[in-house]
Amino acid sequence: MDWGRIRMVVLDVDGVLTDGRLYYAPDGSITRAFNVHDGMGIVRALSSGIIVAALSGRDDPSVRRRMEELGVEFLGGSEDKLRDYEDLLRKHGLKDEEAAYVGDDINDIPVMRRAGIPVAVADARPEVKAVASYITHAKGGEGAVREVLDMVLNERGAGPWTP
Please report the pLDDT score of residue 122 as a whole number: 98
51-55 and 30-31: which strand pairing?
A: unpaired
| Measured distance CA(88)–CA(18) in Å, rounded | 22
pLDDT above 60 (res 71): yes
138 — pLDDT class (breaks 50, 70, 90): very high
66 — pLDDT class (breaks 50, 70, 90): very high
Q: 76 near 53, Cβ under 8 Å?
A: no
Give CA separation, 120 vs 63, 92, 100, 107, in Å.
Answer: 20, 24, 11, 12
| Measured distance CA(69)–CA(75) in Å, rounded | 15
Give the ranges where the chain is alpha helix by DSSP (H): 36-47, 61-70, 81-92, 109-114, 126-131, 144-155
Please report the pLDDT score of residue 59 as a whole number: 87
pLDDT above 80 (res 16): yes
70 — pLDDT class (breaks 50, 70, 90): very high
Please report the pLDDT score of residue 160 as a whole number: 57
pLDDT above 70 (res 135): yes
Please report the pLDDT score of residue 57 as a whole number: 87
Please report the pLDDT score of residue 58 as a whole number: 85
Kindly report the pTM of this predicted structure.
0.93
Q: Which domains does the chain have, with CATH numbers?
A: 3-155 (3.40.50.1000)
23-24 and 30-31: which strand pairing?
A: antiparallel
- 126 versus 159: the higher-pLDDT residue is 126
| Measured distance CA(104)–CA(107) in Å, rounded | 8
Please report the pLDDT score of residue 161 as a whole number: 55
Q: 150 near 157, Cβ under 8 Å?
A: no
Please report the pLDDT score of residue 159 as a whole number: 60
In 3-state terms, the chain is what percent helix, strand and coil (to 5)?
40, 15, 40
Helix pair 144-155, 36-47: axis angle to 10 deg? 30
